[in-house]
Amino acid sequence: MASALTAGSTMRLKDKVVCITGAGRGLGLSLARAFDAEGARLALAARTAAEIDEAAEACSDAIAVQTDVRVHSEVRALVEATLGEFGRLDVFINNAGLAIYGPVGSYSPDEVDLLVDTNLKGVIWGSQEALAAMKGNRDGMIVNIGSVAGTMVLPNESVYSATKWAVRGYTHVLWQEARKFGVKVVSVCPGGINTPFWRTQEYLPFPDKFDPERDFLDPDEVARGVVEICCNSAGYAVTEVVMQPVLF
């Protein structure tokens, strides 16, 4: 496989095993590249096989595992595949998620189920399986990618925001329980990230004057921030990070 590493770079996570869901596009793909650049061994997961196959091929040491995070058995199989390939799991990043925006009364039952099953249940399944794999080693980190929508409220985000508030609450409880096993847990809550997603939305939770390319966070910068969290001292834990663009 082709290497994405920079010659002569210091690889702070060399040989650490990192599993990332939703790794085929957007922030997940940026996370894969950022952790690869630090020497990590990667298990990349997403529903679209072609996307994660391509992402894995671009990394130095990675496997692609087609996974629907809504299905508990598939998330368990992802962790089992990671352990089978690499023998351990050091970092698990619950990144897979989606957004559907619209007025409160506009959400269909299928849309509500899709948001809850992906954004909330997917995080729960990933966290459960990751903790089970890590606690015997008394080491590891679970990173749950949330959103500022889990720290504030905006119009047209009712169900999406509900899932992100729930993820944030779940993550803080998870930290309280995981710490006794030496496992760190962090909630990462970025603001809007500049991905193609925004171009397809009819309803937006912010004024029309906002331009994603100009005003939103760069996914590569967010990914580097997550790497920094995973490289911090063993002597303390960062339990929550909120990332906002400096200027609009």
Which of 107, 160, 203, 236 is catalytic? The answer is 160
| CA dist., res. 167 & res. 117, Å (int) | 12
Nearest Cα to 221, choosing from 238, 241, 206? 241
- What is the DSSP secondary structure assignment for residue 180, as one 8-state letter? G
Where are any strands of DSSP class E within the chain? 17-21, 41-46, 62-66, 91-94, 141-145, 184-190, 240-243
> What six digits make up the tokens of 172?
């803080």
Edge-to-edge strands, sheet with 184-190: 62-66, 41-46, 17-21, 91-94, 141-145, 184-190, 240-243
Is 236 one of the annotated active-site residues of the chain? no
| CA dist., res. 195 & res. 69, Å (int) | 21
Instruction: Please identify every residue annotated as catalytic.
Output: 160
